[in-house]
Structure formats: structure tokens, C-alpha cells
Amino acid sequence: MISYPSPNFDDRPSGAKVKYLILHYTGMATGQAALDRLCDPAAKVSAHYLIEEDGQVFSLVAEHKRAWHAGVSSWAGDRDINGLSIGIELVNPGHDGPGYKGNYRPFPMAQMTALRELSKGILSRHDILPRHILGHSDVAPMRKCDPGELFDWRYLASEGIGLWPKGDDPSLGQNWRDISVVQQNLADFGYDIKVTGKLGSQTKAVLRAFQQHFRPADIRGQSDQECLAILEELRGLH
């Protein structure tokens, strides 16, 4: 691990305990460009760690300090996600750029194994539930789509880090056409979403974030039985 201190942090609220692990991609052309930005006082952004595509880990902010990675965000009623989380940036150029996927590309195995080891250490030091290991898009679905559909949450869960559905109960998800049921399940799981019964822009964005995390084969933000079944299963794992 390379120490690469960022000035962009403050104190966690008094008494606040770390309960979330939030994963990001950098969305910049190179890791160095991202490090420069995360250490630029004018940018006012940071993360606790950054992981290069070759697996090199940079430590930017001490874990007991509040890094500035999540911005305006929310989960299960918690609004100061920065105050309650550790943030990790994964180097990846992201969805910006030409075409639908921009320069977004798969996260190499060396990067994923480095993330696995870093996460295991973090989980040994803090009380973080599997369902509180989330992407930036989960806590800010209207603004963010990182780490995105190419991020291998299934692999992480197989290593004991985070949730992944089994998808083996055909009786689940029957009410997927009832948008208020889908919205209520998303809200109960933790997403910041209003129950309106209509598939509006907020619901599409939240469904897309949910799909990018838990059902990456189809991320169009539409409701379907598989999505609701996964939601119902994961809620059962609380």
C-alpha cells in the first residue's frame, strides 16, 4: 500500500461509527489523473483508498476521518453517507465518452483481488453488514452510475463481501407489474424512492442502479419478475 495523503477530509460526526463500504470508479482517463484530482484542495473530493488496474493500492484518507466521496446521497434513511462510510475508488475510465458505454471497461482480476484483500481488512476493523456494501449508484441513483454493470459483485460476494442473490425461488417476484410493490421493496431494501405506483424517472433510475448491482444482464430500468424476485430474496436476507 502506498501512502498518498489527500487534504480533502474532515472529522466524522461525534459518535458516528462506520457502517457502509461504498465502491466507486474514478471515471478519469488514468489513475494518476484521478489521484491528482482526489488530492486537489479545489476539487473538494477524496476517498479513503484508490486501487489501480494493476492492483496497486493507494491510501489517501485515514479510516477514522470523513472522506468526501459520496456527495448528496442516502441509504435507509441515512443521509450523511460520507460520515458513516469508507469509500474506495477503482481506476476505470467509466461511462463518459463516445457511445453508450463510453470508455467503460472490465475491472481486471488484479484490481479485484486487491479490492478483496483491502475489503477483508476493512471488514475486520469495522462492523459493516453485507447489505451495507454498496455502489455509489445505490446511494445516489439519480446522479451516479458507478461502479456500474461491469463490476463483479458476484465475485466479491463469493469471497464473503456483500450480497448476491441465489435466484432459486420461482415463487418470488409475482407482483412485478405493480409498480408500487416494486417501489416499496426498493425502499424497504434501502433505496431513496417514493412509492407513487408510477414508473417515473426516479423509479427508472433506482431500478437501473439496482440492476447494475444485482442483475447486470439487463439494466434498462424496467420492472420485471426477476428483479422483484431478487429484491424479495435479498430483503429476506436482512
- Contacts (CB under 5 A) with Zn ion, residues 41-80: none
Tell whether residue 37 is a contact of Zn ion (CB under 5 A).
no
Residues 98-137 touching Zn ion, rule: CB under 5 A, are 136
Strand partners, 65: 11
- CA 5 remoteness from chain centre: 23
Which residues touch 128 (CB under 8 Å, ≥6 apart)? Answer: 18, 19, 20, 21, 122
The contact mask relative to Zn ion for 174-213 (x = CB under 5 A, - = no) is ----------------------------------------
> DSSP assignment of 130-172, as one string?
GGGEEEHHHH-TTT---S-TTS-HHHHHHTTSS-------TTT
Binding window for Zn ion (CB under 5 A); candidates: 49-57, 138-146, 151-159, 207-215: 138-146
Determine if 24 is a binding residue for Zn ion (CB under 5 A): yes
- 218: its cell numbers: 439487463
Residue 52 a catalytic site member: no
Rounded least distance, CB 188 to Zn ion, Å:
24
Span interacting with Zn ion, options 1-9, 24-32, 101-109, 204-212, rule CB under 5 A: 24-32
Q: Under DSSP, is residue 11 helix (H, G, I), strand (E, B) or coil?
A: strand
Q: Is 146 in the site for Zn ion (CB under 5 A)?
A: yes
Taking the complex as a whole, the smallest distance from the CB of residue 24 to Zn ion amounts, in Å, to 3
**130-146 residues labelled b (16+ CB within 10 A) or e (exposed):** bbbbbbbbbbbbeebbb
- Least distance in angstroms from the C-beta of 146 to Zn ion: 4
- In angstroms, the CA 159 to CA 129 distance is 14
* Site residues for Zn ion per CB under 5 A: 24, 136, 146
Active site members: 89
